[in-house]
Structure 1
Amino acid sequence: MKKIIIILHCIFITHSSFAADKKLFTASEPSINEAPSGFWGVFSKTPDPGTLPAGGSALADKLQINPAEIDMQPAESNGADSFPADWQAAIQLAVNHHPSISSSIATLESSGFTIDVAKAGYLPAIKAGITTGRQQDEGSGHIATVGLSQMLYDFGKTGSAVDQASAKYLRQQATVLMQIDTIIEQTALALNEVYRSTQLLDNAKKEVKALRDILALTQMRAEAGASTRVDPVQAQARVEAAQASQLDLEIKLEQQKYHLQSLLGQPVAEKKISAPVSLLPLIERQSARIDLNRNPTILVAQADAAVALAELRNYKAQRYPTLSLEANTNKYIGDIADYQRHSQYQNVYLSVNSTLYQGGALVAQESASARALEAARTTIASKKLEISDQQRNYFQSVKGLQKNITLLSSRMKTIMETRALYREQYLSLGNRNVLDLLNAEQEISRARQDLINARCDLWASSVNYLVVTGMARDAFDLNNKVIQGLRIAP
């Protein structure tokens, strides 16, 4: 008997919800023409890997995306009211704006759905299909089939898949925390650099003013015949050098503001940024021992080990069969039904399926997973060494800078006294020349500069220490707060 059979399968899929609330991301996407869904797609045009890479403009055209232009001029501030009131508010603004955190959260939500996909292996699969065709002696017709398959026991195949998906979800959670900490660090340091540049610029302006005062004094004394014309020339040279340094600092300040603007997503106010709040009390409150597992980098490494362990368990389970319950009902439709004794029949049976031989692939996969697990555990130890070394370095830097600031403050008082003595000796006794006055004034400026840098370095080291110890979110009051739709737990 000859048969001509065309099989059409229809599979019904039910979707389960991962969470009660879902955040939708509506970022603009390239509207790329989709490839055909049928066999005729073989004739469709696709990129040729053998050709040279396209240029930027050509590639943008192929992706069908619009130009993304930026303004090279500074964005105008809407006023002081729109700028965050303090550094903590600025950091909270940055983490709620930055797209890298949005991307990490979207990936987290995506990985959450993979848990549902894996857990679906515990539930029955219901399939429906129609077989249509013609039998030579019995005419044409259809056979409608509805089947159910329920896994009863699979030696851990489904369980390990769930564990693997869960570990990947936890890994992405740690990645979100790591990205948040990165933006906290970048924003805090950017604020610090803007504040540093502002303070250094103010110091440079004071130096220019002080040197101009000395220049005016030398000009007055030269005109009165109390000194030579060399003194004003020397003073003028120092003033011009100080003005050049001031211009460099103005340029650097604008660059730092550009960087901060990109992190905050809004223009930086023209008013001066307030001084940062000291982070030393939080550092000093911590005990002498720090939990390394608070650092998201360590958590990512721990999750990688959990993923590798679940993968190894899955490959081991592939050695064993899967026991499942199969049930289906079939019905003949059309002329072919007239030739059947029963137009409808059912089957219920137990199925045991196992792959007996894969050419050694299973053994190789299991060996590779075992090595991956070993590598993941080694990575944990390596990351702990790296993080602990960073923690100690930043902690010692904080302690050292505190002592340095005390010395620089004392030095500042000494230099101020020296300047007063030099000025008195220059004006009254005449045993000091103008170079002594100029050097003393610039020494004061350098001392202020060193003190400003030391204080800003102390704050930067404090931020780095809090980030590497996993306490940055606590320091800037981000725990138990909603960041881009995701609540951050302590």
Structure 2
Amino acid sequence: MSRILYHRHSIACLTIVLSISSGGVAGQVYASSVRDQPKGQVADTGQLTKNNQAQGTVPAASLVSLIEAGQFLPPSAPQSSVSNPPTAGAEVLELRVAVRQALTSYPDILRAREGVNEQVQRVDVAQAGYYPRISGGVRTGYQSGVPGGHSAQVFDVSASQMLYDFGKVSSAVEASRAGVTEREADVRLSIEQVAMNTALAFLDGQYYQRLIAITQAQIDSLGKISDLARQRLDMGASTRSDYVQTVSRIEAARVTGFQQQANLARAFATLSSLTGQPRIEGVSDHFPRELEQSCQQVDASMQDNPEVQAAQARVTRAEAEVGAARAAGLPTLSLEPTFSQQLEGNPGTDQDRSRYSVFLNASMPIYQGNAIQAGKAASERALASSQAGLDTARLRARQDMQQSKSQVLQLHASLGAQTLRERTIDETRVLYGQQYLQLGTRPLLDLLNAEQEAYLSRVEQQTTLNSLRRLQINCLYSAGHLSQAFGVASDDTYRERLP
């Protein structure tokens, strides 16, 4: 609100009152000038009020123009915090506990285990080809030569025992057993994937918790600099731009902190979904020491990698299917006894109503529209494809392992250099602060830049440390030893989740 007040004794007073509300903070600016006021004369308050009511109102001053004119100062930064501490009394989640909870409750592991049970039953189905097959039934209809008429009702019982089939049944059994091995590898793969996803989500929670703490420390440090800049401004020892710059840096740090809180909430939501806990309040900052050197200790043979094991099982099954396709064109020898009993007939006749027969049967397909040859070719191509898949799985696992190992070596060297860099930056920051406060030879912008560089160096260290730990987890996963590293590989219990 801006009003021009006139006094009859040539007193001109300009009063500008500016109120800005931003997050509960208000700033006010008063600018006044007095000219042609007689010495010792004081303006009459009542007369000023009357003149004020008689005069018109001048439009409010622009905020931009006030800032440019140096008549507006930003309010002191509110002391809000971006830290997100765990709820009082809440227990933080440990890494081993999180992985164990995920492996005992995640539904995908149950799906894989039920797949193994299904394939075991299919092995029993294939092995049934070694045993006799017995069937029976009743036939009714027309039959010539039946005493007392042409209608007949006959009860039949037949059996068939395979004697030799050139590997048809054995190939089917071998393929089914290879399917069991493949499904078991699928279980191990599911366990390793759940363990890896849980560990990575846990590490993300650790990472963003640390970043939030670092950001809050930066905000506190910048707040002290801002208070100092405001004091120096009030005393006329510095310019207004110094104080405005500190406020801008604080707000930028808060924005970064809020983004980190959003990332932390996302990591906790992922961890909650994996472990089955309704809410994650916080995670422990501890990382098992025995996992720090995983990339240097794991075996590079990749024989325990679940993807490699599943690919090897697919090769075994494809080989069995090739054998079954080749045996499909060969004869099958079987023993087939039968028994028939006529249920109706003339009781006065002496004709025997029962019939017995035993046959040694040799059967083979003669022509089936080239289906057998096409089946052989298809099974051979499937075998070649599965062998290429095995080579691909080994190559991918070995490549992931080598990449992780090479990155670990480089990041270890980088972490040492970053630690030394942080020390020099902290020393520079202290020197800049002394030069700004005591000597006055260092501008405030240099001090703020040193503060920002110190913050970035700490964030860079935490990013490198998080990358190192993620690579250790990836090495264990590539070797197929991740669940064993957490001591939960033999845990077969499953706690079903409520929907």
Tell me if TM exceeds 0.5: yes
2:157 is matched with 146
Amino acid paired to 2:222: L
Please name the residue that 1:284 is paired with: 296
1:385 CA displacement: 2.0
Look up the equivalent residue of 1:97 and give its one-letter code. Answer: S
| Mapped contact 1:415–1:444 kept (Cα < 8 A) | yes
Aligned residues: 406
Q: Does residue 415 of the first structure (1) align with residue 425 of the second (2)?
A: yes
Q: Check conservation: 2:205, 2:283, Cα contact below 8 A.
A: no
The separation in 2 between residues aligned to 1:303 and 1:338, in whole angstroms, is: 67
* Match runs of 1:206-355 below 5 Å: 206-278=217-289, 279-286=291-298, 290-335=300-345, 341-355=351-365
Q: 1:480 to 1:271 in 2, by over 3 A?
A: closer
Structure whose alpha-carbon radius of gyration is higher: 2
Partner of 2:458: 448
The counterpart of 2:95, out of the listed 81, 87, 91, is 87
1:118 matched to 2:126? The reply is yes
Runs of 5+ consecutive residues of structure 2 not aligned to the other structure? 1-85
Quote the offset at 1:337 in angstroms: 6.7
Asked whether the equivalents of residues 77 and 268 of structure 1 are also in contact (C-alpha less than 8 Å), the reply is: no
Q: Distance in 1 between matches of 2:350 and 2:136?
A: 21
Mean alpha-carbon deviation: is it higher for 420-429 or for 384-393? Answer: 384-393
Post-superposition offset of 1:221: 1.3
Does 1:170 pair with 2:181? yes
Alpha-carbon contact 1:79-1:269 (below 8 Å) kept: no
CA–CA distance in structure 1, aligned partners of residues 321 and 348 of structure 2? 53
Find the counterpart in structure 2 of residue 474 from structure 1. Answer: 484
Kindly indicate whether the alpha-carbon contact (under 8 Å) linking 1:315 and 1:365 is maintained by their aligned counterparts in 2.
yes
CA distance in 1, matches of 2:398, 2:446: 49
Q: Offset of 1:375 from its aligned partner?
A: 2.1
1:23-62 alignment, distance < 5 Å = none
Residue 166 of structure 2: aligned partner: 155
Q: For residues 155 and 238 of structure 1, do their structure 2 counterparts lie closer, same or farther at Cα, with a shift above 3 Å needed? A: same
Q: Say yes or no: does 1:383 pair with 2:397.
A: no
Give the whole-Å Cα distance in 2 for the aligned partners of 1:468 and 1:98. Answer: 21
C-alpha deviation, 1:285, in angstroms: 3.4
Give per-residue Cα distances to partners, 1:141-165, cap 9 Å, x unaligned: 5211222211111000000000111
CA contact (8 A) 1:408 1:447 kept: yes
Aligned residues: CA RMSD: 2.1
Rounded Cα–Cα distance in structure 2 between residues aligned with 1:348 and 1:328: 6
> Which range is displaced more, 427-436 or 332-341?
332-341
- Shift in Å, 1:203: 1.0
Q: Does 2:131 align with 1:105?
A: no
Give per-residue Cα distances to partners, 1:335-388, cap 9 Å, x unaligned: 467667112232122111111111211111111211221222222223222221
For residue 410 of structure 2, give the secondary structure of its aligned residue in structure 1.
helix
Find the aligned partners of 2:309 and 2:431 in 1 and give their Cα distance. 60
Residue type of the partner of 1:346? Y
- What does residue 464 of structure 1 align with? 474
Q: Residue 400 of structure 1 aligns with which residue? A: 410
* 1:186 partner amino acid: N
Aligned to 1:24: none
Change (3 A) 1:269 1:375: closer
CA displacement, residues 268-292 of structure 1 (integer Å, 9 cap, x when unaligned):
3324433222412444334xx5222
Identity of aligned residues (%): 31
Q: How far is 1:179 from its partner? A: 1.3
SS at match of 2:442: coil
